[in-house]
Amino acid sequence: MMMPAMPLMHTNELANVNGAVSEIEKACVPVHDHGFLYGDGVYETVRTYRSRPFYLPGHLDRLARSADAIRLNLPWSRGHIADEVDRTIRAALQADPGYVGEFAIRIMTTRGQGPLGYDPDLCPRPTLVILVTRLRQLSDQDRQAGVAAIISSVRRNPIEALDPRIKSSNLLNNILAAQQARDAGAGEAILFNTAGFLAEGTLTNVFFVKHGRVMTPGLDCGILSGITREIVLELLRSHGLPHEEGSYRREDLLAADEIFLTSTTREIIPVARLEGRVVHPGGRGPITERVQSLFRQRVEAIQEAESESESSRG
């Protein structure tokens, strides 16, 4: 019987497995890696702007915090991981010099290889994998028209069970909710916590607007401290836009004037419909549009600052 063909990867989509760079489809991690066996690892998703990783120090800080939280001792300096990311991006650029898009970069660290069992001492050396893939950017049309979202019946992992602040490779909680979004033909599923308060999306943080005030769940609701969320909160503060972090119920979200989602790869995306109801006629509301434009300016400012500090380092 013919095996179904693997979906074709692009030749500039590369994997760096413990320093060995190859095309993704040729890269392997041994089956007794505890990342594969148990989801025992943590990761980051970074994106490039103009082929340079954006906000990498912030992502590496969060990676270190996630690793500490699962007592995974990373033997690499942040400088080493940053160098490996750069090296893999350069290889991807060389593999297809005509590629004009951006990259999504997944930095994964696992407990490493070892016999079956949960004892961390079974694994003497963590594994470091960096995937550089083509970023599927949202179109301007998506940024205006937004996505449909559902409220998932799956509850976000409680902080006491598996703190969502840990960006863990153990993603079944998110995957189960994402399956419901897919069944409903929606682009994202929004999860509440076990106490019934708004938490986050499967891949995004959630903001909503009521009477001109922007609201988002506080970290104590059990969410990832998103890098994009942090940037948006800082923009709201510095521009004096009314906002708060708090605990919100389903009714609050359903009564929102505007809703938007934030993440590294999607940036800021309006929710056009929630549970089949129109949130804001025309998709994007005025505050979402303002935040999108402030965010874009901030990205450019951060990029400028990063490239200046790089050139001053030589």
Q: State yes or no: residue 264 binds ligand PDD (CB under 6 A).
A: yes
Q: State yes or no: residue 173 binds ligand PDD (CB under 6 A).
A: no
Q: Which stretch binds ligand PDD (CB under 6 A): 2-10, 196-204, 248-256, 279-287?
A: 196-204
In our burial notation (b when 16+ CB lie closer than 10 A, e otherwise), range 223-237 reads bbebbbbebbbebbe
Q: State yes or no: residue 109 binds ligand PDD (CB under 6 A).
A: no
Q: State yes or no: residue 102 binds ligand PDD (CB under 6 A).
A: no
- The least CB distance from residue 106 to ligand PDD, in Å, is 7
Q: Judged by CB under 6 A, how many residues of this single chain contact ligand PDD?
A: 15
Given 203, 233, 259, 287, the residue binding ligand PDD (CB under 6 A)? 203
Given 16, 110, 113, 263, the residue binding ligand PDD (CB under 6 A)? 263
Given 228, 274, 279, 285, the residue binding ligand PDD (CB under 6 A)? 228
- The least CB distance from residue 15 to ligand PDD, in Å, is 16
The residue ranges that bind ligand PDD (CB under 6 A) are 45, 174, 200, 203-205, 224, 226-229, 262-265
